[in-house]
Amino acid sequence: MADSGEEVGVLRKILQFAFHVEQLEDFDVTKYSPSHRAFYPQFVEGIKCGFRGLSTTNKNDSLKQKVKSAFPMTAGVGSVIVGVLTVLSLLYQGGLSEAFQDGSWITYALRYANYVSLVMVLFLDKKGTIDDEVYFEATAVDNKEFSAHLQSLKKQKNLKKKLIGKARRVVQMLILRVANGVIKKFFPRSVQMTVLPVLRIIILRPALGSVLASLVAIADFFPTAGYWDEIIMIASEILMDSFSFGLELLDPYTKRMEGKGKVYLKKRYHGYISGMGLIYSVLARIPLMAPACVIAGEAGAADLTLKVLAVNQTEDPRIDLLGQQFVAPVRAGDKKDS
């Protein structure tokens, strides 16, 4: 019994670490949870910010060149690693010819392409100061005064907190993948159809809200196998990581914030961050594009920052955000998406 109690305690600590939620004192953020009616309009606006960031990058020669510079860094290495891991796994499982006959090679190729992309996104996404350069250049396209002010501020560095954040994202994905594998291997289909949808909703809700999480969980009611199962798993990981991914893209801005502003930004504008992060989280899972998409994502983060600062000035109550005085308030007709 003692061992069982210790195991439960360890599991509880893992879950608390993976799904840690920051609290904001003296401000009611409960109504800004992902299930609040404002989340989904925000989510759509965040997606628009992501696409506008891609458009800005494509139209600006300087930004486009910075993004292109990221391709040679990892493209060759990424493709080689995916190929080698796929071939080795197939040989271990029983041979290449059988794998090409039954289509299992697709499953392994998808899985390792996903792993390599994840490693690139989490640990190879920073190329010196290029992230900040892209962010500031993109903000300057629409607001040079805000961009100059932000650049004049000192960036707070906290390597330990940054690594903990990356580890938390990895643990979240491992929990989903391991739990999914265990349930599908050891439990009958009737149990799977009950447990898997609930598990997926619980894990996806913090990033997507209850409605979108429930829609994704519908896939668990249909029997899948082979590469389709892997595709659903990768899609779930991408969706689950959308908020964290978007928040990391906002680093050039949030690392210059002090006080309660950062937590308020995450709580009040959760939908914006998840929507913008989703666009680049999807693109970054392509192995040859991962670092380039992360760098391009800073343009999307720049667009989102200016959008949020404009909307925030019309909110009451509110906490004023860094650099808000340099951005004009959003027009009354646009406030519906806040």
CA–CA distance from 333 to each of 150, 159, 311, 329, 337 (Å)?
28, 42, 11, 11, 9
* C-alpha dihedral (122, 128, 132, 133), degrees to nearest 10: -130
Helix (H, G, I), strand (E, B) or coil at 60: coil
Distance between CA atoms of residues 259 and 270, nearest Å: 18
pLDDT of residue 102: 58
pLDDT of residue 98: 57
Ordered by start, the domain boundaries in the chain are 25-337
pLDDT of residue 304: 97
Peptide bond into 317 cis (omega under 30): yes
Burial grade of 238 (CB within 10 A; 0-12, 13-18, 19 or more): buried
DSSP labels, 196-234: HHHHHHHHHHHHHHHHHHHHHHGGGGS---THHHHHHHH
∠ at Cα 58 (311, 55), nearest 5°?
30
- Tens-of-pLDDT digits for all 338 residues of the chain? 455 556 556 656 665 566 655 655 555 655 555 556 778 899 999 999 999 999 999 999 998 888 887 766 566 666 666 667 666 666 665 555 555 565 666 776 777 777 777 777 666 555 445 668 899 999 999 999 999 999 998 877 776 777 777 778 878 788 888 888 888 888 887 887 888 888 888 888 877 888 888 888 887 777 665 667 777 888 888 888 899 889 989 989 998 988 788 888 988 898 999 999 999 988 888 767 777 888 889 999 999 999 999 999 988 778 889 999 999 887 544 554 44
